[in-house]
Amino acid sequence: MFSDLFKETIWSLSSNKVRSGLTILGIVIGIASVITMVAIGQGAKNSISSSIEAIGSNLIIVMPGSQRVGGINQGGGSAQSLTIEDADAIKIQISSIKAVAPSITKRYQVTAKGNNTNTQAIGTTEDYMVARNVSMDAGSFFNTQQMKSSAKVAVIGPSVRDDLFGENVNPVGQTIRINNMDFQIVGMTKAKGGSGPNNQDDVIYVPLTSAQHYFSGDEYVNNISIAASDQNAMASVQEDITNLLLKRHKISDPTKADFSLMNQNDILSTASSITSTFTILLSSIAGISLLVGGIGIMNMMLTTVTERTREIGLRKAVGIKKININLQFLAEAVVLTLLGGILGVVLGWIASLAVTHFVSSLKTSISFSAIMLAFGVSAGVGIVFGFYPARRAANLSPIEALRYE
């Protein structure tokens, strides 16, 4: 009984290879296009998000509050209220953060080989690289060992290199003089862009401990840069930091806090609007591809099965029961959609990889949910529209079905 059904299904599909092949092709194209389109869209979305993240969109900066000296507000950031211990506490007690980098910032006249420049010296930790998206062009950032030993080492930005040594010179190993002390250059950062006072390349990084020893002489820091693990955690991380610092500074009224939190709100809102635009774009692409693919599959199934109304009439006339005819056409639809579905997933996958391979600027991202959605919708459409006309034909009297043109 079931072996009859199985053999009849396979035989029926293989006896008209062109028809079966075209139906499968329709399903393959439908599924593969959805998967590829979504993979390309997702890849573009990822690439845009990562460009935004390079600016540091997950960055939260804690700054000391304003200081009042004799009733005169000295402005935000002037108070000495943040310590390295605060930074350590944040690192240990707050979840969903990637990096915590306390820093001491001061401007110095820096000299080397007779050239000099006025630049910003930042004493900080290795985490600064993560928090502020600093990457190295030459040499390396100072390590934990150099941190611990307050080593007189420095990492310079490309603008400082240009000013002191000239362009295209490898500064690693050279010595510069900051605040009348010699520091050995161990690395140079990659250019980040920006100009004037916001030039992120006109900067010298030294270990935080060295900055405390040789520059400031106390335990306070100018700010703490914190990188949240992702954008969605920003709000909760900010709240947790505020609560923690209020507790540590023994302040009960949040309006009297001796520190303030800053994030890159503009970048964040831009990022989220771009992301949501992309989500809409992606859903439209997926939706339209699914619709087009689905209609293709529907047409294919409807025509091929309706074409066989006479065959169904004949089967009924020779005494085959409705249920067996229904089961056979259902089985045919299932086999076709499954075969087409699997081939479609494979083809979509290969096409996505090919796009990544041949378009160097775009790395596609194959999404499991797109595969499931494409497969599910195609299979659903294929089975429904393969089965429905067969059922309709099997419900006709054999005479009506045989007369069908």
Partner 1 sequence: MIECKNLVKTYINGDVETNALNGVSFGIKKGEFVSIIGPSGSGKSTLMHILGALDTPTSGEYFIDGHAVSKLNDDELSELRKNKIGFVFQSFNLLPRTTVLRNVMLPLLYSGVNKAEREKRARECLSYAGMEESKFMNLSNQLSGGQMQRVAIARALINNPSIILADEPTGNLDTKTSRVVMEAFRELNKKGHTIILITHEMDVADYANRIIHVRDGIIEKDTPNNPNDHII
Residues within the interface to partner 1 (CB under 8 A): 1, 4-5, 8, 11, 15-16, 310-311, 314-324, 397-399, 402
The least distance separating partner 1 from the CB of residue 379, rounded to whole angstroms, comes to 26
* Residue owning tokens 């006109």: 202
Is the separation of the CB atoms in 119 and 107 below 8 Å?
yes
* Residue 115 dihedral angles phi and psi, to the nearest 5°: -85, 155
The least distance separating partner 1 from the CB of residue 360, rounded to whole angstroms, comes to 49
What's the token pair of residue 62?
A: 């804690």
The least distance separating partner 1 from the CB of residue 364, rounded to whole angstroms, comes to 42
The least distance separating partner 1 from the CB of residue 369, rounded to whole angstroms, comes to 41
Cβ distance to partner 1 smaller for residue 72 or 318: 318
Helix axes 2-15, 322-358, angle to 10 degrees: 50
Cβ distance to partner 1 smaller for residue 301 or 394: 394
Cβ distance to partner 1 smaller for residue 85 or 307: 307
> What is the rounded CA–CA span in Å between residue 134 and residue 130?
7
The least distance separating partner 1 from the CB of residue 377, rounded to whole angstroms, comes to 32
* Residue owning tokens 């494979």: 346
Cβ distance to partner 1 smaller for residue 13 or 35: 13
Q: Residue 229 CB: number of other CB atoms within 10 A?
A: 14
The least distance separating partner 1 from the CB of residue 335, rounded to whole angstroms, comes to 18
DSSP state of 196: G
> What is the rounded CA–CA span in Å between residue 271 and residue 277?
10
Cβ distance to partner 1 smaller for residue 3 or 255: 3
Cβ distance to partner 1 smaller for residue 276 or 397: 397
Q: Say if strands 259-263 and 59-64 run parallel, antiparallel, or are unpaired.
A: antiparallel
Cβ distance to partner 1 smaller for residue 8 or 332: 8
String of DSSP letters for 109-135:
EEEETTEEEEEEEEEE-THHHHHTT--
The least distance separating partner 1 from the CB of residue 22, rounded to whole angstroms, comes to 15
Is the separation of the CB atoms in 365 and 277 below 8 Å?
no
